[in-house]
Amino acid sequence: MNMQNNIYVISGASSGIGKSCVDLLLEKGATIIGLDLHEPEIKDNNYQHFITDVTDENSILSAIKEIEKQFTIIDGLINCAGIFANSKPLYDITSDEWNKVISTNLTGTFLLSKYISKIMIKNMKGKIVNISCIRSKIFRPNMADYAASKGAIVSLTSAMALDLSKFNIQVNAVAPGFTYTGMTSKSFDNPEIRKMSENLIPGGKIAMPEDIGKVIIFLLSDSSDYINGETIFVDGGYGILK
């Protein structure tokens, strides 16, 4: 996968799967534009960072304005910014809590894709990778808000692919299974919870962010040119047991 000197935008770049994608792409000689609410622990000449709130269209537009000053081509976008469920049953979720999850996980993906795709359209090429989750089709109690946002990402991905295919832009999604990140570390650092979770996975282990990142990198590469509008489940086989 030759990604030398390619330019990628990554939201949620400061931690978890987003940070793993930054590291993997920097290793391949790519230039990365990271977007996040927090400053990253990334020191590399090929990395630039913009403090950006993906729920705020003006914040996104401010970042886009700076990006367009420096770059005329964007080769790929990874929509990694996201938050977890409020961990409440449907009947206890407030409108504000619901809107925060939907705004971050779904609307943020839409807004950033909308503006980055306009840059890609000018160059008649590009790759967009969205992040769904196994909870888009395998459910647990107390995550109606999260499941709704991640299920919608699957549909949005396919719809985006249809709108953008005539511009030689492919749009796909990755749906991670159990993955050790900052959002999940509190649970998976508990030996009992970790063992119980690993017993549910045919692969026998919790994924690390780079396990998901490698699939995302594949979807950004030329090797995936004939894949479009798909959601790839990266879950160690968890889904096939359900």
Q: Which tens digits make up the pLDDT trace of 154-185?
A: 999 999 999 999 999 999 999 999 998 877 87
Sheet arrangement for strand 126-131:
47-51, 31-36, 7-11, 76-79, 126-131, 169-176, 231-234
The model's pTM: 0.95
Instruction: Give the pLDDT of residue 55.
Output: 97
Give catalytic status of residue 146 as yes or no.
yes
Confidence check: pLDDT of 242 > 70: no
Structure-token pair, residue 177: 């299974």
The residue from 146, 180, 226, 238 that is catalytic is 146
pLDDT tens-place string over residues 95-153: 999 999 999 999 999 999 999 999 999 999 999 999 999 999 999 899 999 999 999 99
Cβ atoms of residues 72 and 52 within 8 Å: no
